[in-house]
Amino acid sequence: MADSDKNEKNHQKKKQLLKLEEILKGGKNLLILIHNNPDPDAIASALALSYLVENKYNIETSIAYGGNIGRAENKEMVKKLNIHLKKINRLKFAKYDRIALVDTQPGAKNNSLPSKRKCHIVIDHHPKRFDTPTPFEIIQPEIGATATILTEWLQETGLDIPADLATALSYAISSETQNLAREADTRDIQAYLVVYVKSSIRKLAQIINPKLDQAYFVVLARALYNAFIYKNLLVAHLAEITCAEMVAEMSDFLLRRKMISWVLCTGFYKGNLILSVRSSIPKAKASEFLMKLVPDPKTVGGHDQVAGGYISLLNGAKDLKNMENNLSQAFAQAYGYKDFNWQPLLGDTDLEK
């Protein structure tokens, strides 16, 4: 990186932190709200913002979320790093004079911010799709993880990054970018190297390799049994699940099958059909692709290779089979295939061997 570019980036970070200080001035309590069913990037980014605000600006913070934390790695991360999170339905919003959205945005239907509540700060790496003005917003879709922004801010402030926070940030960046192989920018790599050397390697290993309960293997078996292929496409419908994050996890897993460049995975969870799209094509525009498959584009978010969303099923699981069949058909048609014949990933001869 040229010195002029480096100086410009440092100048931008200084301006961002000055703006953050201006927004927080006079405040006493900051609520940091992350998206529903939060992933490591959302959790670590919120934790970093909390640490920065409390230690640099002496303002109390709380981190809150809607939905559940169900994926084994995410549970282990919260447990091993002693991250304190609050369920949004237990909050008293009147307590907070400032609200920040992290790894999500106002108007997106993947967070639980009440429509009447003002958001003061937005920090995200997803493309901006909603015209909802906020006093201070940093939206940078060119990078692979929101945690990268917060790591850069911590560096700029000169605050020491404790081992547990560094561990959270390094895991967030690596998991969000598939170990820096998916949609990772130079900034993500640099931020990862900064926090990795400060991390607890023992805790990081425990987070990456948690013990898995029986439900995980049930869903894994269902994903393999219900996976169907046509040319470079793969669809897998998991039916009813107990953890929303399993849909994305199975999508990532199934994309590893040779000759497959697109995966659509679904699962029914608490009245919603959760959808996940993955692509191995760098400029695939997965989020735009997924928008073609859902009634309400506001329920979809993502990037070029990763996208997720949901469809509300008014009649619950009664609509499930029909919806799954329609999505499989729409998935192939959206890709441009008019005549297609889905074939099972595992045939009878595979299972007999």
Q: For residue range 32-54, what is the model confidence (pLDDT) as tens digits?
A: 999 999 999 999 999 999 999 99
Q: Which of 255, 212, 183, 226 is nearest to 325 (CA)?
A: 226
pLDDT, one tens digit per residue, over 174-194 is 999 999 999 999 999 999 999
Q: Which tens digit of pLDDT belongs to each residue from 219-258?
A: 999 999 999 999 999 999 999 998 999 999 999 999 999 9
Phi, psi of 305 (to 5 degrees): -110, -5
Look at residue 295 and tell me whether its pLDDT is greater than 80.
yes
User: Which of the given ranges, 21-25, 88-92, 238-242, has the highest pLDDT on average?
Assistant: 21-25
Per-residue pLDDT, 96? 97
Q: What is the largest CA-CA distance in the chain?
A: 69
What gap in Å lies between CA 297 and CA 231, rounded to an integer? 27
Q: In whole numbers, what is the pLDDT of the chain averaged over residues?
A: 93
Indicate if the pLDDT at residue 2 is higher than 90: no
Distance CA 132, CA 125 (A): 16
252 Cβ contact partners less than 8 Å away, ≥ 6 residues apart = 178, 278
What is the bridge-based pairing of β-strands 227-230 and 343-344? antiparallel
Model's pTM, two decimal places? 0.93
Q: What is the pLDDT of residue 353?
A: 59
State which amino acid sits at residue 25: K
Q: Is 194 helix (H, G, I), strand (E, B) or coil?
A: helix
pLDDT at 319 over 60: yes
The confidence band for 320, taking pLDDT boundaries of 50, 70 and 90, is: confident
β-sheet bridge partners, residue 139:
124
CATH number of the domain located at residue range(s) 214-345 in this protein: 3.10.310.40
Q: pLDDT tier at 3 (50, 70, 90 boundaries)?
A: low
What confidence score (pLDDT) does residue 257 get? Answer: 97
Q: What residue ranges do the domains of the chain occupy? A: 3-208, 214-345
Mean pLDDT of 100-129: 93
For 3-208, CATH gives 3.90.1640.10
Phi, psi of 344 (to 5 degrees): -65, 140
**How do residues 125-147 score in pLDDT, each as one tens digit?**
999 877 778 999 999 999 999 99
At 318 the pLDDT is: 66
Q: Residue 155 pLDDT > 70, yes or no?
A: yes
